[in-house]
Structure 1
Amino acid sequence: MPLTRRRGFWWIAGAAVAVVLAAAVAATAIAFPSVAATTCPGCYGLERIAPGVYAEPGLAPAERRRVSEVLEQADERIRAFFGGRVSAPDVLVCLTDACYSRIGGGGERGIAVLNRSVMLSPRGVDPVIASHELTHVELHARLGGADVPQWFDEGLGVLVSDDPRYLTPTGDRCLRDPRQALPDTLDGWLRAASADPLTYADAACQVSRWVTANGGEQAVPGLIARLASGQPFPAAR
C-alpha cells in the first residue's frame, strides 16, 4: 500500500476509534450519570472545595464549614474503628435536590459508587450517613478484590457509623433478633431493605454480635486481612 494510502487508512481508523470512544463515554454518562459524575465532577457543575471533596458552586462559608465538619467526623469514625484508613475516595456533596438529581442520585441519602467514590444528598450531609458510605469504600479497599456477603457490608456500615436508627445505645446493640438468613447479594439486599428498612438493623445485629464474640472491633481488620488473602468468609450468622 502506498504511503499516502496507508496514512489515509490510519487516519480513518483513528477517527473511527475516537467516534466509538466518544459514543461509549456519552452512553455511560446517559445510562450511569453517577459513575460519570464521580469520574469528572467538574463536568456536572461541581467545584473542588477541598482535596477529594466536590460540591455545587456558590456555597456560603457556613455551608462549606458544615460539609468539612461532617466529613471530618466521618473520617474520625472510620479511623477509630479500623485503626487507620487506607481509602481516599472522592466525595461529591449536594446541598440541593437539583444538584443531586443532576449527578445521578435518587431518593437515597447517600451512596457509594462502585465502592470507590461517595455521593451525599442534601439529607446525607450528616456524619452517620457519610461514615456509613465511606465504610463501604474502606472495606472494599482493604479487601483488595475479595468479597463479603451484602448483609455484612451493610451491617458493618451501620455499626461503624453508629446509626441510632438501627442500633440500641448499649448492650448487644440489637433492635430485634433476626429470625431468617439475610441477603448475600446486592439485588437480594435491595429487595429486602425496600420491603423492610429494619433489615439494616438485622444486619447490624449480626455484625455486632460477631464482633463481640470475636474480641471486639479489632477483630474486623483481622477478618478483612484473612479474606483478602483468599480465605473464605466465616459462618458468622
Structure 2
Amino acid sequence: MKRIIALLVIVGAAATAVLHFTYPAAATAGCPSCYGFTDLGDGVYVEGDMSPDRRAAAKATIETARARVREFYGDLRSSPRVLLCATEACYRPLGGGSRGVTLLDRALILSPRGADTVIAAHELAHAELHRRIGLRATLARTVPQWFDEGLAVVVSDDPRYLAPGAERCLVEPGSDLPTARAAWIETAESAGLYARAACKVSRWLDAHGGAAGILRLAASGSFEEITASTGS
C-alpha cells in the first residue's frame, strides 16, 4: 500500500510539472494560491501584490459582469474561477497578448487590460456557453468559433463592435468567418472579425428568439442551425 501511495504521489507530481511547463494557464487556474494569487472569495482570485482598492474594484467588476451574463440567459449555470492579474508580467505566460482567456467552463484569466466589465463578461459568456453545450461539444469545437466569439460580444454588449439600438451591426458579416479557433486567432483583429461575427450572431438571435434559441440548441445537442448559417 505504501508503495502504491508513493507511486501515486510521484505520478501526480510529474503530471503537475508537465502541466506547469506545457499549459501554465491550466496549472495556475487549478491551484491559484500555488502561483501567488489571493482568494477574495466567491471564486475570484487576484495577483497577490494587487492593492486593496484594486482588489475591491476587481470584485465589483466580476459581480457586474456576472449580472450581465445572467441577464442574457436568465440564470447562470457555470461558476468558473476568475483570476485577475495586476501586472503584465503575471499575465504574459498565461494568456500572451490577449486581454483575457477562458479555459472551457472552469476558469478565466484576465490581464490588467481586461479587468473591466465588458472583457470580464465576454470571457464569462464563453464559459457559460461551454457549460450549456457540454464538455464534449466544447472540446470538439462543434459550435463555430465565429459564433462563440460573436455571442460573447453580444452578451457583453461590447460598444467597440456593436451599435446601440435595434440594428446593432457596424459592418456586414460577409460569408468567410472562420469556424476554427486557430484561423480566428490569426486574423481576428486585422480583419474586423469581432464586429462581423457580432453582427451575424445578433441577427441570428433576432431570428431565433434570443437566448431561447441558444438554449434550444444546447438542449438538443444539434448545432446545424449555426453551422449551416454561412451567408451574410
**TM-score strictly above 0.5:** yes
Equivalent residue in structure 2 for 1:59, among 50, 69, 82: 50
Q: SS where residue 45 of structure 2 aligns?
A: strand
Please identify runs of 4+ aligned residues in structure 1 that moved more than 6 A: none
**What's 1:189 paired with?**
184
- Say which SS state the counterpart of residue 109 (structure 2) adopts: strand
Report the Cα offset of residue 175 of structure 1.
Answer: 1.3
The answer to whether the 8 A contact 1:52-1:91 is kept is yes
Matched positions, count: 223
Instruction: State how 1:152-231 maps to structure 2 within 5 Å.
Output: 152-196=147-191, 198-227=192-221, 231=222
Matches of 1:97 and 1:187, distance apart in 2: 23
Change (3 A) 1:186 1:61: same
Unaligned runs of 5+ in 2: none
- Give yes or no for contact 1:97–1:121 (8 Å, CA) kept in 2: yes
Instruction: Supply the distance in 1 between the matched residues of 2:8 and 2:217 (Cα, whole angstroms).
Output: 45
Distance 2:101 2:39 in 1: 19
Task: Compute the RMSD of aligned alpha carbons.
Answer: 2.0
Deviations 1:140-169 (A, max 9, x none): 111123331111100000000011111111
- Within a 5 Å distance, the mapping from 1:17-96 to structure 2 comes to 18-96=9-87
SS of the equivalent of 1:123 reads: helix
Task: Indicate conservation of the 8 Å contact 1:148/1:233, yes or no.
Answer: no
Partner SS for 1:173? coil
Aligned pairs for 1:120-135 within 5 A: 120-135=110-125
TM-score by length of 2: 0.88
Deviation at 1:16, TM superposition (A): 5.2
Distance 1:14 1:69 in 2: 43
How many angstroms does 1:17 deviate by? 5.3
Confirm or deny that 1:141 pairs with 2:131. yes
1:36 counterpart letter in structure 2: A
With 17-26 and 205-214 compared, the bigger mean Cα shift is at 17-26
TM (normalized to structure 1)?
0.86
Identity of aligned residues (%): 46
Written as runs of structure 1 = structure 2, the 5 A alignment for 1:77-116 is 77-101=68-92, 104-116=94-106
SS at match of 2:101: strand
